[in-house]
């Protein structure tokens, strides 16, 4: 076996010399000499053949190994390229929502409820048979309204002749989801259809930025409030009903004192100096999410109940914001707005008196959670908005305030200012509590919050 490492030129020279010597030592008989020489030559030829075959096999194995190595390195480069390319997202890199089987809408003219059921393409009026107020509440919430305002049955004779495609009929069964209780009908036996009016929200008066933002004007963001603790602005919040404010859990948990004596809510203001000249609204209850984690800021949401309701009548400076529609997600790149009285520079020495506003685009959660940005810190209950290069962002003092997006002339509370690495730092956009993840929790608390304690904490909050 060691001969395989000898060169072919050495092997040939040594073989010839050995053959000649052996022939001279054989019997003098010509026959015997010929046989001996032939045998030796055959042996040498076989050895040479074997060496050639072995060398060829070795070369083939070497070439195959090199090719395999090159191929492997190529795939490794491809993996690295793919990893680097993972930082390059387009606005279309979003999770596609599963199309709804049932959709709802309310006519802005006569408040008639309409339902569209796949695969039928038409919007259908809803027969009044089987209707009740609880269904009205469910549909209003499905559309992003906190509660039902009014409902009634309307005679088909008063509707007109525009609706000729049939009707949606309620099949009321317990444990059925809202999307599963509808069937198509050609007529309504009651002769009536449903008119529905939900709690008005998300509108503002027509009026003429946060870091990199501009100053706002009174009435621009009528749901924006300032939360004062011990006579000082500490956080923002958003009006969702006449008695409930939504904010961040980390705002209220930093000040674990009875809210009735230490918290005030200022609404309908554009400057903090004007707040200090008014009395503010007394807080009677603070409800924070029992799963809030102060290290990761997961579940960063809280609700504040006012002792007396806000007065929306005839006012353009105090109005509620709409909640997001059920299971709806605004696509990445959507331009939304943030507002607040937070620092205009991260050093904390520039706190504005005037409410400031800024526009920020929503960022794909996959991109925000990549190694390019927050590297896995974004949970399903968070969303990101801002610019990769920084420049515009929320900062300290803006916490708990609104991230709102406009949809069909209604402003919706999509996010709550929660946390971020620095303020307006490149590749570290603002992180917001995702409101759609807490719709059921909000409905639960605003309905059944205990009146016994000004602070509500575990184990009362059952749902996440």
Domain 102-198 and domain 214-456, same fold? Reply is: no
291 by Cβ neighbours in 10 Å (0-12 / 13-18 / 19+) ranks as middle
CA pair distance 404, 218, nearest whole angstrom: 17
Per-position b or e across 240-258, b if 16+ CB within 10 A of its CB: bbbbbbbbbbbbbbeeeee
Note the pLDDT of residue 50: 64
Residue ranges in the chain whose pLDDT is less than 50: 1-29, 35, 63-86, 91-99, 209, 450-453, 455, 457-464
pTM above 0.85? no
Active-site choice (229, 250, 289, 326): 250
Note the pLDDT of residue 231: 86
Active-site choice (226, 238, 365, 399): 399
Which residues are 335's β-sheet partners? 361
**Has 289 been annotated as catalytic?**
no
- The helix/strand/coil state of 211 is strand
**Has 399 been annotated as catalytic?**
yes
Note the pLDDT of residue 335: 96
Written as six digits, the tokens of 297 are 């800021």
Q: CATH number for 102-198: choose from 3.90.1150.10, 1.10.10.10, 3.40.50.2000, 3.10.250.10.
A: 3.10.250.10
The residues spanned by each domain of the chain are: 1-49, 102-198, 214-456
Note the pLDDT of residue 27: 47
CA pair distance 394, 389, nearest whole angstrom: 14
Q: How are strands ordered across the β-sheet holding 113-117?
A: 102-106, 113-117, 124-126, 167-170, 182-185
Other CB atoms closer than 10 Å to residue 103's CB: what's the count? Answer: 16
- The answer to whether the Cα torsion of 124, 127, 128, 134 is positive or negative is negative
Active-site choice (300, 339, 393, 398): 300
Note the pLDDT of residue 107: 85
What is the per-residue pLDDT across 167-198, written as a single tens digit (0 to 9) for each? Answer: 998 887 656 788 888 888 888 988 999 999 99
| Pairing mode, strands 455-456 and 281-288 | parallel
The verdict on domain 214-456 having CATH code 2.40.10.10 is yes
Which residues are 136's β-sheet partners? none
**Has 79 been annotated as catalytic?**
no
Contact between residue 127 and residue 192 where contact means Cβ atoms under 8 Å apart: yes
């Amino acid at each position: 076996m060691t001969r395989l490492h000898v060169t072919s030129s050495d092997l040939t020279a040594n073989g010839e010399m050995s053959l000649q010597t052996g022939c001279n030592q054989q019997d003098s008989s010509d026959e015997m000499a010929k046989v001996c020489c032939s045998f030796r030559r055959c042996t040498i030829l076989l050895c040479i053949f074997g060496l050639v075959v072995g060398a060829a096999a070795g070369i083939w194995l070497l070439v195959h190994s090199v090719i395999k190595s090159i191929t492997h390195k190529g795939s490794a480069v491809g993996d690295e390229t793919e990893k680097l390319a993972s930082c390059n997202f387009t606005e279309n890199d979003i999770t596609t929502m599963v199309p709804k089987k049932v959709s709802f809408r309310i006519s802005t003219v006569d408040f008639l409820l309409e339902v569209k059921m796949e695969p039928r393409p038409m919007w259908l009026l809803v027969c009044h048979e089987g209707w009740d107020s609880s269904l009205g509440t469910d549909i209003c919430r499905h559309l992003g309204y906190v509660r039902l305002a009014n409902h009634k049955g309307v005679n088909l004779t008063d509707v007109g002749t525009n609706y000729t495609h049939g009707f949606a009929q309620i099949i009321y069964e317990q444990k059925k989801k809202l999307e599963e209780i509808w069937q198509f009908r050609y007529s309504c036996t009651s002769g009536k259809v449903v008119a529905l009016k939900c709690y008005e929200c998300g509108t503002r008066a027509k009026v003429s930025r946060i870091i990199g933002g501009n100053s706002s004007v009174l009435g621009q963001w009528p749901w924006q409030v300032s939360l004062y603790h011990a006579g000082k602005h500490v956080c923002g919040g958003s009006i969702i009903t006449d008695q409930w404010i939504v904010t961040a859990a980390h705002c209220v948990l930093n000040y674990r004192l009875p809210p009735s004596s230490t918290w005030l809510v200022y609404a309908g203001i554009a400057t903090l100096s004007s707040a200090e000249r008014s009395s503010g609204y007394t807080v009677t209850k603070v409800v924070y999410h029992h799963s809030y984690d102060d290290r990761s800021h997961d579940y960063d949401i809280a609700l504040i109940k006012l002792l007396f309701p806000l007065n929306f009548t005839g006012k353009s400076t105090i109005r509620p914001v709409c909640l997001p529609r059920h299971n709806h997600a605004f696509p990445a790149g959507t331009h939304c707005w943030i507002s607040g009285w937070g620092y205009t520079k991260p050093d904390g020495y520039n706190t504005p008196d005037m409410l400031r506003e800024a526009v920020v685009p929503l960022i794909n959660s996959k991109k925000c959670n990549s190694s390019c940005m927050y590297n896995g810190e974004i949970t399903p209950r968070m969303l990101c908005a801002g610019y990769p290069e920084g420049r515009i962002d929320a900062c300290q003092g803006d916490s708990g305030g609104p991230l709102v997006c406009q949809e069909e002339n209604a402003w919706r509370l999509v996010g709550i200012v929660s946390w971020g690495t620095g303020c307006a730092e490149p590749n570290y956009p603002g992180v917001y509590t995702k409101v759609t993840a807490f719709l059921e929790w909000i409905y639960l608390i605003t309905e059944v919050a205990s009146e016994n304690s000004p602070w509500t904490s575990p184990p009362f909050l059952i749902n996440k």
